[in-house]
Amino acid sequence: MFITASGLLRDDFLWLLPAVLIALFQVKIIWARLPKINTTETEIDGCYKDWDITRLLYFTYLTYFFLFVQLVVTILPISSFTFTRFLGYGFVIFGFINSFVALKTINTNWTGMFQYRIKKGQKLITKGPYGFIRHPIYTSAILEIAGFELIANSWLFAPMLVFGYFMMYQHSLKEEALLEKKFGEEFKEYKRKTKMFIPFIF
């Protein structure tokens, strides 16, 4: 059925609530680790534009809107099997753990999301998750969006997954341009040995 009755509200809520709590806890961790912007510590400043943060805000608002709609009615269900929701939780939990490990690995070298800047004394991190992919935090975000889609059991989230991927891909290209400017051949060699988002694939 294209749209089912809102009587499924309680079941959907119980499925989604733990995932939402995990996401909120992750946001709290990331917010606590956000570096304070100090222009005196900036060595290379990137091409940051207001549109970047505006696009991120639209993405966030639409995600919560779709989440609310999904709690009211079940639209475009993916599957009638509970397995897909457990798989979704696997994506969310793995994404959470991977992003936490990546943040611990990059430590003080992290300049925050969407800042496009290189700090003085910043090092090129090539260990931990960064030994396999160059943007493990973005990979985690993409996995978690896919996980939410499976947990919500709705294709309604599919456009958010596509939009989120292309948004993070563009940010990654800008970040890599700055890293190549800073580290030169060292970063080029690192780039040849790793993939952007998926180990050994892409």
Q: Which positions ≥6 away from 35 have C-beta within 8 Å?
A: 108, 110, 111, 112
Given a contact cutoff of 8 angstroms between Cβ atoms, the answer to whether 154 and 83 are in contact is: no
Predicted confidence at residue 4, as pLDDT, reads: 43
Q: Tokens representing 192?
A: 């040849």
Predicted confidence at residue 1, as pLDDT, reads: 38
CATH of 6-34+45-193, one of 3.90.1170.50, 3.40.50.11140, 1.20.120.1630, 3.40.50.410: 1.20.120.1630
Given a contact cutoff of 8 angstroms between Cβ atoms, the answer to whether 4 and 71 are in contact is: no
Q: Which of 98, 107, 102, 85 is nearest to 33 (CA)?
A: 107
Predicted confidence at residue 7, as pLDDT, reads: 45
pTM to 2 decimals? Answer: 0.76
Predicted confidence at residue 132, as pLDDT, reads: 95
**Backbone torsions φ then ψ of 95, nearest 5 degrees:** -60, -40
In the predicted model, residues of the chain with pLDDT beneath 50 are 1-8, 37, 50-51
* C-alpha distances out from residue 134 to 101, 145, 173, Å: 14, 19, 11
Q: How far apart are CA 160 and CA 142, in angstroms?
A: 10
**Quick one: angle between helices 136-152 and 9-33, nearest 10?**
170
Q: Which own/partner contact pairs does 56-62 have at CB distance under 8 Å and 24+ positions apart?
A: 56/114, 56/167, 59/160, 59/163, 59/164, 59/167, 62/160
Q: Tokens representing 166?
A: 């292309």
Q: How far apart are CA 139 and CA 149, in angstroms?
A: 16
Predicted confidence at residue 111, as pLDDT, reads: 67
